[in-house]
Amino acid sequence: MSTNDHPVFDPSMLNRQTRGDSHLQVEVLALFVAEVERLMRQVEDAPDAQLRGERLRALITAARNVGATRLAHAARSIETQIGDEAPDLAPLRTTVSETLAYVHQAGL
């Protein structure tokens, strides 16, 4: 199953995590956006495969926790390449951009 076969965002997870509290959802998603941006920089700048893998796993967890399904799958796909000297991060960058645009556009 390709990454694009997954929805960008599944709000049911966020609803469960916040018990439907819309104000809390806004706060959680603001933290999520900041965390994704930070983790993506760390993935890109990782000096070795071990650190890159740790940052990818943190990105997967952050994405799953809020329902960013496509991002979780994209990061998981890249995780299989962490041993590569120069993994292709372009698909992950694209998915990060799609996810963050979705969150901003949806006003979440």
Residue type at 61?
Answer: T
Q: Which of 2, 22, 6 is nearest to 14 (CA)?
A: 22
* Predicted pLDDT at 108: 57
* Predicted pLDDT at 2: 47
pLDDT for 82-97, tens place per residue?
776 778 899 999 999 9
pLDDT for 27-80, tens place per residue?
999 999 999 999 999 999 999 889 999 999 999 999 999 999 999 999 999 888
Handedness of CA 41, 14, 30, 9 (dihedral sign): positive
Which residues 6+ apart lie within 8 Å of 1 measured at CB? 73
* Predicted pLDDT at 3: 55
